[in-house]
Structure 1
Amino acid sequence: MRVMVAIDDSEESFYALNWALDNLFRDMDAPPEASGGGGGSEVVPPTLLLANVQQALQHYGVPIGPVGGAAFYPTVTVTESVKKAQEQISATILSRALQMCKDKMVITETLSLNGNPKDEICQAIEQKHADLLIVGSRGLGKIKRAFLGSVSNYCAHHAKCPVLIVKSPKDHE
C-alpha cells in the first residue's frame, strides 16, 4: 500500500501526517505475527509518500511610467533567487516531516513539486500509484473557500484514489 500525505507549511497538514502515522503506521516497528500456516508470505510494510508543492513563479510585468509606457520584468537573478528560496522552504518542510516519520520508523519517500498544488498532487498520485491520499483541512470559511479554492475539496473530486481529509481538533470548536 502506498499512502501519500500532502504537506505544506500549515499545522493542519502536519496534524494530518501525525494522524496517519498514529493510525495507519503505528505498528511498523512491531514484528509481524506468526501466520500459522507456514506459507512464508512476507508482510510488505506500507510506503508513505510525502508531497510538498510550491506555487510556480508567475512572470508578471510591472508597468513603469504613464499608461502604455515601459514595463519591468523580473531579472533572471530575481527569478533564480525566488526559485532557490522555494527549494529551501520545501526542503525545510520535508525535513520536518521526514523527522516525524523517522521517529516512527516508517519507510518514506519525498516529492518536491512545483506548480498548482491541486493539479500537482493529483498528477503525483497517478505517477506514484498511490492507494490513498491524506490531506489536512484548513477549515476555510465558505467565502474564503469560494475565492481561494480548496485543495482538499479539489483532490476529493479529482484524485484517482480515495482521499482522507483530516480535520484538526481546532476545527471542531
Structure 2
Amino acid sequence: MKILVCTDGSKESLRAIEKACKIAAGCEVHEVSVINVYEGKVDIPTGTFGYTHHTTDADIEMFKKAREVAKEKSKKSLLEAEEIFKEKNIKVNAILKEGPAAEVISEIAEQEGFDLIVIGRRGINGLKKLFLGSVSNAVLQQANTSVLIVK
C-alpha cells in the first residue's frame, strides 16, 4: 500500500498526519509520502470596471516575494510533517509542488500509483463552505483513488 498524506501546517493536517502514522504502523505500507502544494499563481490586479491594472516593477517584485514566502512556508510544514513520521520510525518522502492544490494532489496520486490519500478536513462551515469549497472536498471529487478525510 502507498499512502499520500497532505499537509499545509494546519491543525487539521496534523491530525491527518497522526492518522496516517497509525495506518502505516498497523498495515503493510510500502511507501508513505507527504505533500504540500503552494499556490504560485499571481493574479494581476484589476482596476475599476475590470480593466487590467498597469503592473509596475514594484508590483512584480511584491508578487515574487509573496510567492517565495508561500514556498518557504510550505517547506516548513513539510519539515514538521517529516519530523512527526521520523519520531514514529516511519520512512517518508517529501513532495513540494506548486499549483492548484486539489488538482496537483489528485494528479500526483494517480501518476505515482498511491492507494490512499489522507487529508485533513477544512474547518469552514455553512455558506462559506458552499461558496468557497475546500481542498479536501475538491480532492474527494477529483481523485481516482481512495480518500480519507480526517476530522
Q: Give the TM-score, by structure 2 length.
A: 0.86
Select between 134-143 and 90-99 the one with higher mean Cα deviation: 134-143
- Whether 1:147 aligns to 2:147 is no
Contact kept in structure 2, 1:59 and 1:73, CA below 8 Å: no
Residue in 1 that maps onto 2:105? 121
Contact kept in structure 2, 1:2 and 1:131, CA below 8 Å: yes
Q: Give the TM-score, by structure 1 length.
A: 0.76
Residue in 2 that maps onto 1:16? 16
- CA displacement 1:16-46 (0-9 Å, x = unmatched): 111111x212269xxxxxxxxxxxxxxx752
Question: Which residue identity is paired with 2:55?
Answer: Y
Contact kept in structure 1, 2:45 and 2:52, CA below 8 Å: no
Secondary structure (helix, strand or coil) at the match of 2:89 reads coil
**Sequence identity of aligned pairs in percent?**
26
For residues 26 and 49 of structure 2, what CA distance do their matches in structure 1 show? 65
Q: From the superposition, tell whether residues 104 and 67 of structure 1 become closer, same or farther in structure 2 (CA, over 3 Å).
A: closer
- How much does 1:69 deviate? 8.8
Q: Which is greater in Rg? A: 1
Contact kept in structure 2, 1:46 and 1:107, CA below 8 Å: no
- How much does 1:108 deviate? 0.8
- How much does 1:166 deviate? 0.8
Residue in 2 that maps onto 1:71? 53
- Whether 1:55 aligns to 2:39 is yes
Contact kept in structure 2, 1:59 and 1:74, CA below 8 Å: no
Residue in 2 that maps onto 1:100? 84
Structure 2: segments with no counterpart, 5+ residues: none
Structure 1: segments with no counterpart, 5+ residues: 29-43, 168-173
Residue in 2 that maps onto 1:38? none
Q: From the superposition, tell whether residues 69 and 5 of structure 1 become closer, same or farther in structure 2 (CA, over 3 Å).
A: closer
- Whether 1:25 aligns to 2:9 is no
- CA displacement 1:31-66 (0-9 Å, x = unmatched): xxxxxxxxxxxxx75211111111233231353xx8
